[in-house]
Structure 1
Amino acid sequence: MIATLRARGFAALAVGAVVVAGTVLAPTAAVAAEKVVLSKGHTDALDVRYEDGALSLKVNDDTVSPSVTRDPADVTFQVLPDAAMAVPDDPRFAFLGTAGSQVWLLPLTQDPDLLWPGWNTTALDSGVFQGDKVRLSLLDVRGPGDVTLFTQDSFGGPIVKFRGDDGLPDAIDVPVHTHAHSNRAFGALGSYTLKFQADATLTNGTTVSTGPVDYSFVVGELPGSAPEVGLSVSGMAGGYQPNDTVTLNAVQTPQTELDHYHWFSKCPGAADWSIIAGEAGVSYSFTATRELDACQYVAKLYDDDHTVAATSEPVTLRVTSPPEGPGTSQSITASIDETQGALVISVDPEDRAVVLPAAQLTAGGDRWESDGELRPVTVTDTRAGQPGWSASGQLPADFTAADGASFSAGHLGWSPRILAQGSGQGVLAGPTVTPHVAGAGGGLGDSALLGSAPDGAGRGTAQLGAGLRLSLPTETAAGTYTATLTLTAI
């Protein structure tokens, strides 16, 4: 996806391979009562519990170790400014707003620099509720913008779960032993209250409910805190001819609500910077002349008190003169527009099928196992802002055979590795994900990090790979099974 400034995007690619979805059974967490702000890391925001005949909604906080259980009233979930992204120019995502407009997105797959909230029913036992399921409902949204929770299919298309702008309540049925995540999109900066409720029917016909539970979200900086913002100037080409139009753009990192700028210039021989009268916007356009050659330009960003919040580094204008009179030479100027760029994840269309060797019994005779290799995955980042990226994979559906037999994606795991990366990149391999022995969840049935690049060290092309391990119970029926791995880069 194309991204600007520190904007985040999402891209999905379906790749023929092998794996399925599932859940992770979390250990019992300690209970904490202090007020906290959660802004990075994994948390189960909607953690459904049933104890002593009562259904409740808690927060399972995995941002600390060991994890703790919190009351939603004690938690503020912060969507950091770095979650800003442009709405894709794709009609499938029109529900997020006009293409190119800004939303703040907590993504479906984990970004280590953002909060990763999900919903969780792994603490619920089978056989307690009718249908072994509970219903989660979004009853109300109060805030400055629209709120949408959606997942994506294997082709990257959106599957909306909760949407606050088309009539509430919205509800989904969630099986017990489920651990899941979604994209959470917010339409504006500010404070939100989302009112959720969980309901279920016991096997004896008795209905139980949590009642409405408020969840507090803050998109952007917390009230009373000043954003730390960097500023740069994009758009300056390597050289201009007289009468060419020069357009400079001020780029905030991360993007904030501040929108008051002034532009300054300093030409050779001048002792001080001079303010450019009438230029208070994010862009500044003017005509190149020979007299402006070697002049420098900076942009300054101001807060509501007209205090300088950030100042860019200078950029220098170069104006070249064409050769005078007849001759045999030409002046050629080449440039790369740093306002353009994209984050792309891909695989070779001729090398996208993984065929694992036939599974063999382990030495203990208690499992079928097979090892193989993921086909190379290429991630190319040409964005000027260098916001970093992460690439993840997940099997959204079970392995299936032609006769309809199946087994869980959770039985497949991987050990990521970096196959190659460009000069100046700092790409890191994701953690090893082991196959889930019980097969009810975990493994690559959940989204797993394949590789990532930190801020300032992601631009370029990297190639990622992974060793694959399949581990199945001995009662698995003989056959050839296939699943599709979805790869995502944000």
Structure 2
Amino acid sequence: MLTLVSRVLLAAALAVPSPDGLSQSLDPRQEQATGPAVLEAGHVDVGPRYRDGAWTVQIHDDERVPPVWRSPDDAVIRVRDAARQAIPDDPAYRFLGEAPGTSVHVLPQTQQEGVVWLGWNTQDPGVLEHAGRGVTMNLRGVHGPGRLTVFLQSGTLGAPQVLWSTDTAYPQALWVDRNTHTHANWVFGRPGVYLVALDVTAELAGGGTATASATLRFAVGDATDPDQARAAALTLPPASPSPAAAAVAGGDAVPGWLAVLLGLAAVLLVALLIGVAVRGAAVRRRAERERGAA
């Protein structure tokens, strides 16, 4: 457990937005990197990209010199144990769902040495040219061993603003204005692999909309292998009614043969109940006829 001084420092790290570093412009000539990559320090943004007539969700790797765009399928965001903090003993943080003093992994709203500084932007030159007012970032589902909460906080006295939480039903929509660059606090309740499914829908300047989807991959904790996060597959039902609906393929999903057996059992149970009801009605009618005859 961290000391009181450490908890105070955590509260400050969670609360105080960076006074600089958010003003940026992206070079339209930035390349699309290929191949696996592990992003475990430095500045990283998620955001839509428009190129060659196609809308995609990409990861902007600003730690690389010069910066590049990466596919979320190639990149794993690694949250090292250097990001571990204790939940402050403050009622303002009860929304995190963890007891005060609980150790969690935090990607903070402010930049911290040796920890990924994760945010999002809508500043790709193609997006600036073709998007209208902005985009909607929809959280479609999360699979992981613990809670995930993403929130903003303005100043040490500002109330936390929860943006996404695995304690809330999906989908969870977040509006982002065009030409925006934002960082937030990402709090992971337990170490392990987290898969975060996102849709980004752009309002087009010429009318209509365009939607792109991606799965962000996190390896939380030094003991978690980034290759495991890269290899994991996320399957979601057409509409996720609750956080429990997201499951890694081959993991928490109900086997197909078991689903078939359960379906047959349900059909047989319904047929049995109908048969009992029909026989009961016949017995009552016969009894009524016999009483009438008597």
Q: Report the TM-score range of the alignment, normalised by the length of the smaller protein.
A: 0.5 to 0.7
Q: In the alignment, residue 25 of structure 1 is paired with which amino acid?
A: S
Give the equivalent residue in structure 2 for 1:194.
Answer: 196
Q: What's the C-alpha RMSD, in Å, of the aligned pairs?
A: 2.8
The unaligned stretches of length 5 or more in structure 1 are 226-490
Give the equivalent residue in structure 2 for 1:9.
Answer: 10
Tell me whether 1:53 sits opposite 2:63 in the alignment. no
Tell me whether 1:151 sits opposite 2:152 in the alignment. yes
Give the equivalent residue in structure 2 for 1:35.
Answer: 36
Q: In the alignment, residue 112 of structure 1 is paired with which amino acid?
A: E
Q: Deviations over 1:113-150 (max 9, x none)?
A: 101111011114556334x2011111100010010111
Q: As a proportion of its length, which structure holds more helix?
A: 2
Residues 14 and 110 of structure 2 are in contact (CA less than 8 Å); yes or no, is this contact kept in structure 1? Answer: no
1: CA distance, partners of 2:113 / 2:20: 23
SS at 1:10 equivalent: helix
Residues 15 and 154 of structure 2 are in contact (CA less than 8 Å); yes or no, is this contact kept in structure 1? Answer: no
The unaligned stretches of length 5 or more in structure 2 are 227-294
Residues 15 and 109 of structure 2 are in contact (CA less than 8 Å); yes or no, is this contact kept in structure 1? Answer: no
Residues 23 and 180 of structure 1 are in contact (CA less than 8 Å); yes or no, is this contact kept in structure 2? Answer: no
What's the offset of the Cα at 1:54?
A: 2.5
2: CA distance, partners of 1:159 / 1:189: 24
2: CA distance, partners of 1:5 / 1:224: 32
C-alpha spacing 1:127/1:114, structure 2 compared with 1 (3 Å)? closer
Give the equivalent residue in structure 1 for 2:162.
Answer: 160
Residues 191 and 224 of structure 2 are in contact (CA less than 8 Å); yes or no, is this contact kept in structure 1? Answer: no
Residues 11 and 156 of structure 1 are in contact (CA less than 8 Å); yes or no, is this contact kept in structure 2? Answer: no
C-alpha spacing 1:113/1:14, structure 2 compared with 1 (3 Å)? closer
Residues 161 and 172 of structure 1 are in contact (CA less than 8 Å); yes or no, is this contact kept in structure 2? Answer: yes
Give the equivalent residue in structure 1 for 2:179.
Answer: 177
Give the equivalent residue in structure 1 for 2:109.
Answer: 108
SS at 2:101 equivalent: coil
C-alpha spacing 1:198/1:189, structure 2 compared with 1 (3 Å)? same
**Number of aligned residue pairs:** 218
SS at 1:168 equivalent: coil
Q: Deviations over 1:140-191 (max 9, x none)?
A: 0001001011110232421111112221211111111111100000000111
The within-5 A match list for 1:301-320 is: none
Give the equivalent residue in structure 2 for 1:89.
Answer: 89
Residues 55 and 209 of structure 1 are in contact (CA less than 8 Å); yes or no, is this contact kept in structure 2? Answer: yes
Give the equivalent residue in structure 2 for 1:133.
Answer: 134
Q: In the alignment, residue 57 of structure 1 is paired with which amino acid?
A: V
The within-5 A match list for 1:261-276 is: none
Residues 12 and 156 of structure 1 are in contact (CA less than 8 Å); yes or no, is this contact kept in structure 2? Answer: no
Q: In the alignment, residue 168 of structure 1 is paired with which amino acid?
A: Y
SS at 2:10 equivalent: coil
Residues 196 and 213 of structure 1 are in contact (CA less than 8 Å); yes or no, is this contact kept in structure 2? Answer: yes
C-alpha spacing 1:39/1:13, structure 2 compared with 1 (3 Å)? closer
TM-score (norm 1): 0.41
C-alpha spacing 1:172/1:66, structure 2 compared with 1 (3 Å)? same
Residues 23 and 122 of structure 1 are in contact (CA less than 8 Å); yes or no, is this contact kept in structure 2? Answer: no
1: CA distance, partners of 2:14 / 2:102: 23
C-alpha spacing 1:188/1:54, structure 2 compared with 1 (3 Å)? same
Q: In the alignment, residue 36 of structure 1 is paired with which amino acid?
A: A
**Identity rate, percent:** 34
Give the equivalent residue in structure 2 for 1:98.
Answer: 99
SS at 2:95 equivalent: helix
1: CA distance, partners of 2:207 / 2:169: 29
Residues 153 and 159 of structure 2 are in contact (CA less than 8 Å); yes or no, is this contact kept in structure 1? Answer: yes
What's the offset of the Cα at 1:223?
A: 3.8
Residues 138 and 169 of structure 1 are in contact (CA less than 8 Å); yes or no, is this contact kept in structure 2? Answer: yes
Q: In the alignment, residue 107 of structure 2 is paired with which amino acid?
A: L
Residues 147 and 190 of structure 2 are in contact (CA less than 8 Å); yes or no, is this contact kept in structure 1? Answer: yes
2: CA distance, partners of 1:11 / 1:90: 12
1: CA distance, partners of 2:77 / 2:51: 25
Give the equivalent residue in structure 2 for 1:62.
Answer: 62
Give the equivalent residue in structure 1 for 2:78.
Answer: 78
C-alpha spacing 1:13/1:93, structure 2 compared with 1 (3 Å)? closer
The within-5 A match list for 1:183-262 is: 183-210=185-212, 212-223=213-224
2: CA distance, partners of 1:65 / 1:76: 18
2: CA distance, partners of 1:162 / 1:80: 22
Q: Deviations over 1:415-434 (max 9, x none)?
A: xxxxxxxxxxxxxxxxxxxx
What's the offset of the Cα at 1:23?
A: 3.4
1: CA distance, partners of 2:13 / 2:33: 37
C-alpha spacing 1:156/1:85, structure 2 compared with 1 (3 Å)? farther
What's the offset of the Cα at 1:47?
A: 2.3
Residues 135 and 176 of structure 2 are in contact (CA less than 8 Å); yes or no, is this contact kept in structure 1? Answer: yes
What's the offset of the Cα at 1:69?
A: 1.2
C-alpha spacing 1:49/1:86, structure 2 compared with 1 (3 Å)? same
The within-5 A match list for 1:315-326 is: none
2: CA distance, partners of 1:14 / 1:49: 30
1: CA distance, partners of 2:220 / 2:111: 18
Residues 58 and 72 of structure 1 are in contact (CA less than 8 Å); yes or no, is this contact kept in structure 2? Answer: yes
